[in-house]
Amino acid sequence: MAFVEARPSRWRQAVDLANMMLCLALRSDPARVFRRARREFSTEEITEGFAAARGLALPSQLRRMMRAQGRDLHAEFVTLLPRPPRPVSVQRWTARRLVLLAATLAVLVLAYEVVIGGRANPLRRAGDIYADTLSCTDPEPLWLIAQSVPTASDVPCLRSLPAGWTLGHVTVTRGRSTFTFDHDRAGGGAMVATFTARCDPGEAVAIGADRSGVSSYQRLEASVRRVATTRFDVLPRGCLTTRLVAPPEQQERLAAEVPRLLDFRPRQELEQKLDQRSNGRLHLDAAAPR
């Protein structure tokens, strides 16, 4: 056992041998210690020890004690050897060590950026809110979304997450809210939903309307590897645009899951909930005349 090494390296064993002989020589004579060491170790092993035991390889306490006695015990032992040893460097630069050093530096830089600096944190984007979900039963993130588009009669929310879907980013800025969804097969950012005051379905095909006055349109853009499905849910003074990009073989199934994934909650309900939660102190649209 050498310090914390259960299986010390050959260099560690050589250094320990030389340090042990130097410690014994502090209260004895180098020649006597050398003769006694020759009973257990070969001259080559002792020579290797003093070739490695230099500078920082010597314990600081041992260096202080040798300076206090005014003796260069290392040099005295070297004169007892058949030939002066060639110094063995503490640091030996190899390709493996350089790769490990570069990997360590990369990890440290990444840790600083993510943990301390926050500049590489993928969640830190302009307008990002830290929302794990946009559940229709949780009004708090929906209040922020409602304020981004104050004219809309309804506010989009997350009805459920079908298997394979995860909510990535939720970005709320003035006049726009954006929700990014990832899918385990379609990839990161497979669907992006954007909530704005207005939109232009253009030549998108109407696919129906519901009782709340939301009219839906859909447009397909196909390529060899991907199919982009853009859906427009137009509501009074608001619009939710969802763009789904998926492989052709998965496009139809994933597009059918979009209506199950997103829903709307009336703005009036959110306003009443905020009024109740704050005992009338807060209002969803404080600037609007009441």
| Together in a domain, 99 and 74 | no
Per-residue tokens: 168: 């990535």
107 and 160 both lie in a single domain = no
Amino acid identity of residue 14, one-letter, is: A
Cβ atoms 239, 199 nearer than 8 A: yes
Report the b/e string of 47-84 with b at 16+ CB within 10 A.
bbbbbbbbeebbeeeeeebbeeeeeebbebbbebeeee
The answer to whether position 244 is within a domain reads yes
What residue type is 182 in one-letter code? Answer: D
Let me know whether 183 and 206 are in one domain: yes
Residue 179 lies in a domain: yes
Residue 88 in domain: no
> What residues contact 136, with CB distance under 8 A and at least 6 apart?
142, 157, 158, 159, 263, 265
Do residues 245 and 169 share a domain?
yes
Q: How far is CA 62 from CA 18, 154, 162, 245, in A?
A: 12, 78, 68, 69
DSSP 244-267: EEE-HHHHHHHHHHHHHHEEEEEH
Give domain status of residue 5, yes or no.
no
Give 166's strand partners.
182
Angle, CA of 233, 239 and 241, to the nearest 5°? 65
Considering the domain architecture, whether residues 58 and 151 belong to the same structural domain is answered as no
Q: Dihedral sign, CA of 16, 21, 23, 24?
A: positive
Are 55 and 24 within 8 A, CB to CB?
no
Residues 160 and 213 placed together within one structural domain of the fold: yes
pLDDT tens-digit map of 85-97: 887 766 667 788 8
List the domain range (segments joined by +) for residue 107. 93-122
Is residue 115 one of the residues assigned to a domain?
Answer: yes
Tell me, yes or no, whether 48 lies in a domain.
yes
Verify that 100 and 222 share a domain, yes or no: no
Mark whether 73 and 101 lie in a shared domain: no
Q: What mean pLDDT value characterizes the chain?
A: 84
The CATH number of whichever domain residue 241 belongs to comes to 3.40.1000
Burial code (b: 16+ CB inside 10 Å, e: under 16) for 211-237 equals eeebebbbeeeeeeeebebbbbbbbee
Same domain, residue pair 197 and 114:
no
Number of domains in the chain: 3
**Residue 119 clears pLDDT 60, i.e. is over it:** no
Measured in whole angstroms, how far is the alpha carbon of residue 164 from the centre of its chain?
22
The whole-number pLDDT of residue 192 equals 94
Instruction: Please tell me the pTM assigned to this model.
Output: 0.56
As beta bridge partners, residue 5 has 2
pLDDT at 49 over 50: yes
SS3 (DSSP) at 148: helix
35 and 159 assigned to the same domain:
no
**Hey, which residues does 219 pair with through a beta bridge?**
230
pLDDT tens profile 184-210: 888 888 999 999 999 999 889 998 876
Tokens of 273: 């909930």
Over 60: is that where the pLDDT of 236 sits?
Answer: yes
Answer whether residue 35 is part of any domain: yes
Domain co-membership, 235 together with 159: yes
User: Confidence class of residue 4 from pLDDT cuts 50, 70 and 90?
Assistant: low
pLDDT digits (tens, 9 = 90+) for 246-282: 888 888 888 888 888 889 999 999 999 998 988 888 8
Contact status, residue 186 vs residue 180, Cβ threshold 8 Å: no
Gap between the Cα atoms of 275 and 270, Å rounded: 9
- Claim to verify: residue 116 and residue 191 sit in the same structural domain: no
Q: Does residue 272 lie in a domain region?
A: yes
Residues 171 and 127 sit within 8 Å (Cβ to Cβ): yes
